[in-house]
Amino acid sequence: MNGKVCVVTGATSGIGLEIACSLASLGARVIGVGRDGARCAQALSRIRSAGSGGECELADLSSQAEVRALAQRIAARNAPIDILINNAGLFTWRRKESVDGIEIQFAVNYLAAFLLTGLLLPHLAPGARVITVSSDSHAFGRIHWRDVGMRRWYNGLSAYAQSKLATVLFTHELARRLAAYPAGSREATIATFAADPGLVDTKFGEKETGLLIRRLWRWHARHGISAAQSAASIVFLATNPLVANEAGGYWYMDEPRSSAMRTYDERAARRLWTLSERVSGLPYLSDPSPEGHGSGRLTA
């Protein structure tokens, strides 16, 4: 991984921080992303002490303007990106909206990954890997097509499951669209994965929740693996040459797994892509399927 450029979102705590440190220790040039200046500074000192370098970019990924500014700053480095890990995520019990008026879990857990990936796509190196951190909760999710923001009826767990289902649908669709490029083109060499990190003992469920949920999460998370153990499986996915050809897969602990049946619904994946393009204002990788009118070429 010497000198390879790795972008890791949510690098200020939990699994993301461990991923960033581990990649740095392998010699990678890590660009971590965090939403809080003080936590970015702390994370940076850990990343730098694990390896020879590292940078941390400040961006609140719930804001599309901040995602765009972040992508511009990363692109301005003129260094092709080898690994992009969309890891940032949050869980909220009560419904909240982002500055763009989007339900916050959908905005951070999924849409920020869609937008950042699209903006950085032209800057990915040949053979790059895009890993989006999902969850087994995706299996309980459904996309509330008529009310994606879940304004009429809200439940934090359902909104979380919806956002994680979206990350798997996105990963499969991204793989299909990249595979439509001619063999040997840069796009056709980019591999995409959804990673299930398992149940991990982090403060994930304690940040945007009340006392009861915090206590429940603490009790639940104690049965999980450590952030370092979980990160190791995602670093394996990011670095192991043997997994390069398994594009578009869903991975759990160093192994490819089947994701829930509904994630293989190509119509739903295309519909989500169109919705995401509209909501984020970024059309990219037009639809190569017979139903779509795309030529499989980059449109942004």
Ligand X SMILES: NC(=O)c1ccc[n+]([C@@H]2O[C@H](COP(=O)([O-])OP(=O)(O)OC[C@H]3O[C@@H](n4cnc5c(N)ncnc54)[C@H](OP(=O)(O)O)[C@@H]3O)[C@@H](O)[C@H]2O)c1
In the complex with ligand X, the residue whose CB is nearer, 259 or 286, is: 259
**Span interacting with ligand X, options 7-15, 177-185, 266-274, 281-289, rule CB under 6 A:** 7-15
Q: Is residue 224 involved in binding ligand X (CB under 6 A)?
A: yes
Q: Which of 173, 162, 171, 163 is nearest to 194 (CA)?
A: 171
Element spanning 55, H or E: strand 55-58
Angle, vertex CA 167, rays to CA 171 and CA 161, nearest 5: 150
**Span interacting with ligand X, options 81-89, 184-192, 278-286, 292-300, rule CB under 6 A:** 81-89
Q: Minimum distance between the CB of residue 205 and ligand X, rounded to whole angstroms?
A: 7
Give me the long-range contacts of 64-73 (CB less than 8 A, separation at least 24): 64/98, 64/100, 64/111, 64/112, 64/115, 64/280, 64/281, 65/99, 67/112, 67/115, 67/116, 67/119, 68/115, 68/119, 70/33, 70/116, 71/115, 71/116, 71/119, 71/120, 72/119
Segment 97-116, which members bind ligand X (CB under 6 A)? 108-109
Binding mask 183-212 for ligand X (x = CB under 6 A): --------------x-xx-xxx--x-----
Q: Is residue 118 involved in binding ligand X (CB under 6 A)?
A: no
Q: Which amino acid is at 258?
A: S
- d(Cα 233, Cα 227) in Å, to the nearest integer? 10
Residue 52 CB coordination number (10 Å): 12
Q: Is residue 133 involved in binding ligand X (CB under 6 A)?
A: yes
Binding mask 29-58 for ligand X (x = CB under 6 A): -----xxx--x-------------------
Chain position carrying tokens 């979980």:
230
Q: Minimum distance between the CB of residue 257 and ligand X, rounded to whole angstroms?
A: 14
Residue of 160, 181, 250, 284 with catalytic role: 160
160 carries an active-site annotation: yes
DSSP 36: -
Q: Minimum distance between the CB of residue 173 and ligand X, rounded to whole angstroms?
A: 19
Residues making contact with ligand X (CB under 6 A): 10, 12-16, 34-36, 39, 60-62, 87-90, 108-109, 133, 135, 197, 199-200, 202-204, 207, 224, 227
Return the active site residues. 160
